């Protein structure tokens, strides 16, 4: 019988996961699995969600403390050797780190915490990015938002989130939902603009065509609260009284497989983000063959150039016009071309990047961080 004092095999990589959104949790699982396929011993230290707070400054502090606590719980496990490398998933997770490591991020506070929203986060973030063993931005755009001094040399490796189709391509005749949107953060995701566009286009649809918009990511009560507080877009002139919005159904907060199943039934994924730090939902929609109808948005919005290349009509500030073009003048071959455009985001491509470039650098450079 093994001695209780014998140390367990050391982890190669510990991922400190903020997991504040479904997209972040999915990204961390994908990275864990990719590292494991490359032969690494890897675990996720999951932060426990803090209570809801009123400001972004306090919210980020609470999440940073939760991430630190998650890392310390893992590092303090009796009988466990410390991991050879740590990856902090998001700059917020790294702000109060107990030990230096690599930082993976969709966008830094320098980009998505302007003005007073990031008064304490931005200076500390600059220090952490400079101290990190590696920077692992999800996209080139995310890296460009990081301070120039922190991204010098060869410390950065762009590491996209793997996104795969969840099943066979559905034909248009098998898609019984006109459009889907994701609105976990209604203001940031532009739910008001989506509903306004939908209200203008729905009555133009053929009676025998799908005539439903499904809103995922928030409950019915949250949806109606958003409509009630929505100013112009909650007015009867748009057909959006507080008792409901014509042709709209809320799907609630869905498990990843449920959300993918919803996308397979949809003809269009529509969104109007006021800022997009990456856009996993949009990439998942493209992988499932949905037409992406979107407004342009600031931030490292990786699906935006893909959507423009597939059909520029569907990317417009005139969201109703773009939705009209998608549903009434659907581009030929869009779904097939969308899947082809997603090849660089597939697991095979990401696994190759992880195995050939990330894991060797993680394990050899970690000792030089600090």
Q: Of 25-39, 173-187, 220-234, which range is least confident?
A: 220-234
Q: What is the CATH number of domain 13-162+347-368?
A: 3.40.50.2000
**Rg of the chain over CA atoms, in angstroms?**
22
Residue 236: is its pLDDT beyond 50? no
pLDDT at 123: 93
- Are 311 and 291 in contact by the 8 Å Cβ rule? The answer is yes
As its CATH architecture, domain 172-345 has 3-Layer(aba) Sandwich (3.40)
Pair of tokens at residue 329: 């003048």
pLDDT at 52: 86
How does residue 367 score in pLDDT terms, banded at 50, 70 and 90? very low
Q: Which helix (H) or strand (E) holds 254?
A: none
Quickly tell me which residue has 């890392």 as its tokens: 71
Query: What's the DSSP call for residue 354?
Result: I
Residue 238: is its pLDDT beyond 70? no
Q: How many CB atoms lie within 10 A of CB 52?
A: 8
Give residues with Cβ within 8 angstroms of 76, minimum separation 6. Answer: none
- Are 234 and 196 in contact by the 8 Å Cβ rule? The answer is no
The half-sphere exposure of 239 on its side-chain side, counting CA atoms within 13 A, is 13
What is the distance in angstroms between the CA of the first residue and the CA of the last residue of the chain?
Answer: 39
Give residues with Cβ within 8 angstroms of 354, minimum separation 6. Answer: 31, 34, 35, 37, 38, 159
For the segment 68-82, the average pLDDT, to the nearest whole number, is 91
> Where in the chain are the domains?
13-162+347-368, 172-345
The half-sphere exposure of 230 on its side-chain side, counting CA atoms within 13 A, is 30
- How far is 180 from 308, CA to CA, in rounded Å? 19
Q: Which helix (H) or strand (E) holds 286?
A: helix 280-287
User: Would you say the CATH fold of 172-345 matches that of 13-162+347-368?
Assistant: yes
Query: What's the DSSP call for residue 3?
Result: -
How does residue 204 score in pLDDT terms, banded at 50, 70 and 90? very high
- How far is 268 from 279, CA to CA, in rounded Å? 15
Give residues with Cβ within 8 angstroms of 80, minimum separation 6. Answer: 7, 8, 10, 11, 74
- Pick from 114, 166, 162, 164: nearest CA to 138: 162
pLDDT at 149: 81
Query: What's the DSSP call for residue 206?
Result: -
Residue with the larger pLDDT of the pair 348 and 243: 348
Query: What's the DSSP call for residue 146?
Result: S
Residue 132: is its pLDDT beyond 50? yes
pLDDT at 227: 78
> By percentage, how much of the chain surpasses pLDDT 90?
76
- How far is 187 from 234, CA to CA, in rounded Å? 13
- Are 334 and 291 in contact by the 8 Å Cβ rule? The answer is yes
- Pick from 105, 87, 99: nearest CA to 12: 87
- How far is 206 from 324, CA to CA, in rounded Å? 12
> By percentage, how much of the chain surpasses pLDDT 70?
92
Q: How many helices (H) and strands (E) does the chain have?
A: 16, 10
């Amino acid at each position: 019988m093994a001695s209780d004092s014998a140390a367990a095999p050391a982890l190669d990589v510990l991922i400190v996961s903020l997991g504040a959104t479904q997209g972040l949790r999915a990204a961390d699982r994908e990275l864990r699995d990719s590292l494991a396929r490359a032969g690494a011993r890897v675990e996720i230290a999951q932060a426990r969600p803090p209570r809801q707070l009123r400001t972004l400054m306090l919210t980020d502090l609470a999440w940073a403390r939760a991430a630190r606590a998650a890392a310390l719980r893992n590092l303090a496990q009796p009988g466990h050797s410390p991991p050879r490398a740590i990856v902090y998933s998001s700059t917020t997770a790294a702000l109060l780190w107990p030990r230096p490591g690599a930082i993976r991020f969709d966008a830094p506070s320098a980009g998505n915490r302007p003005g007073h929203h990031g008064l304490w986060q931005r200076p500390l973030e600059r220090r952490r990015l400079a101290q990190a063993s590696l920077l692992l931005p999800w996209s080139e755009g995310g890296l460009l938002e990081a301070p120039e001094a922190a991204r010098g040399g060869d410390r950065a490796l762009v590491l996209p989130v793997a996104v795969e189709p969840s099943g066979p391509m559905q034909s248009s005749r098998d898609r019984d939902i006109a459009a889907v949107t994701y609105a976990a953060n209604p203001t940031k995701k532009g739910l008001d603009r989506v509903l306004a566009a939908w209200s203008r286009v729905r009555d133009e649809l053929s009676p025998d065509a799908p005539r439903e918009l499904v809103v995922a990511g928030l409950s019915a009560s949250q949806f109606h609260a958003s409509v009630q507080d929505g100013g112009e877009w909650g007015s009867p002139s748009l057909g959006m009284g507080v008792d409901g919005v014509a042709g709209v159904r809320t799907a609630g907060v869905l498990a990843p497989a449920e959300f993918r199943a919803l996308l397979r039934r949809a003809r269009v994924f529509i969104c109007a983000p006021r800022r997009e730090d990456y856009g996993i939902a949009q990439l998942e929609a493209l992988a499932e063959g949905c037409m992406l109808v979107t407004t342009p948005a600031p931030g490292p919005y990786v699906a935006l150039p893909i959507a423009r290349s597939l059909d520029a009509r569907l990317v417009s500030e005139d969201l109703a016009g773009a939705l009209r073009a998608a549903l009434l003048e659907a581009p030929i071959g869009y779904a097939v071309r969308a899947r082809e455009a997603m090849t660089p985001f597939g697991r095979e491509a990401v696994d190759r990047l992880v195995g050939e470039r990330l894991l060797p650098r993680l394990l050899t450079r970690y000792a030089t961080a600090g």
